Amino acid sequence: MIKIAVTDDHPLMAEGIRNVLNGNDKIRLMASWRLAQETLEDETLQQIDVLFLDINLPDMNGIELCKILLEKYNQLRIIAITSHQESWFLKNMMKAGAKGFLLKSASPDDIIEAIISVCRGKEYIQQEMKDLLLNESLNQNQANNLIPKLTRREKEILQLIAEEYTTQEMADKLFVSAKTVETHRQNLTLKFGVKNSVGLVRMAMEMGLL
């Protein structure tokens, strides 16, 4: 019996995986959590073989959580899940120790195959992400690959962070919620592989983005 769990702040993700596994007597969903802290505090993880881990969580980014969990639980295999079809998320999660990478739009077959593959000691990357990596290697030179792809809004947030705007000031200026600003800020730190705004500004300046 393969025991799995899900950490995702959207309960529909866990419910979707539960439905995929319905009737499967070899794989069972044992637990689900919405926050990183809940995951860290639950000793159920000692019994879990595979954890589906969302990259974007309200209280901690999935890359940092992945590192912490793998240091604590040697038996655990982590499959990253995200709605972001960008190579930076894939590369950073795999670097952190994840064994699989799925988009939240993954088919039931992808989900089952990912579970079985990582339990056999193999890595599993959804085909759409493999295609993305191949296209990047064919269409971009090495220097450009080092610079993360930013959305228009992320560029605006990055500039305001460099100008020392607070979260609320950015929200007021861009007519969005503070939570939306924090989500963009978290995505930026993930893409640049840094831990805070200081590192974010430094990396952006080194890459000529500021």
pLDDT value at residue 146:
64
Domain boundaries, the chain: 2-136, 147-206
- What value does the mean pLDDT take over residues 82-94? 86
pTM of the model: 0.71
pLDDT band of residue 88 (cuts 50, 70, 90) is confident
Residue 193 has pLDDT above 70, yes or no: yes
- What value does the mean pLDDT take over residues 85-98? 88
Output 29 or 131, whichever has higher pLDDT.
29
- What value does the mean pLDDT take over residues 98-121? 95
Least confident of 9-18, 50-59, 141-150, 201-210: 141-150
| Mean pLDDT (the chain, rounded) | 89
Interval 4-46: pLDDT, tens: 999 999 888 889 999 999 889 899 999 999 999 999 999 999 9
Interval 132-186: pLDDT, tens: 887 776 665 554 556 788 899 999 999 999 988 999 999 999 999 999 999 999 8
- What value does the mean pLDDT take over residues 47-62? 92
Q: Where are the beta strands (DSSP E) in 72-122?
A: 77-82, 100-103
**Rounded distance between C-alpha atoms, residue 202 and residue 210, angstroms:** 9
Return the closest-CA partner of residue 92 out of 123, 60, 64: 64
Q: Collapse the DSSP code of 28 into the 3-class scheme (helix H, G, I; strand E, B; otherwise coil) and give the result.
A: strand
pLDDT band of residue 61 (cuts 50, 70, 90) is confident
Contacts for 176 with CB less than 8 Å, ≥ 6 apart: none
141 — phi, psi (to 5°)?
-80, 170
- For domain 147-206, the CATH architecture is Orthogonal Bundle (1.10)
**Rounded distance between C-alpha atoms, residue 29 and residue 50, angstroms:** 9
- What value does the mean pLDDT take over residues 73-97? 90
Classify burial at 158, counting beta carbons within 10 Å of its beta carbon; exposed 0-12, middle 13-18, buried 19 or more: buried
Contacts for 41 with CB less than 8 Å, ≥ 6 apart: none
Q: Collapse the DSSP code of 140 into the 3-class scheme (helix H, G, I; strand E, B; otherwise coil) and give the result.
A: coil
Which tokens hold the place of 70?
A: 């793998």
First to last CA, the chain: 52
- Tokens 């930026």 found at: 188
- For domain 2-136, the CATH architecture is 3-Layer(aba) Sandwich (3.40)
Which tokens hold the place of 91?
A: 């590369």
CB 86 within 8 A of CB 56: no
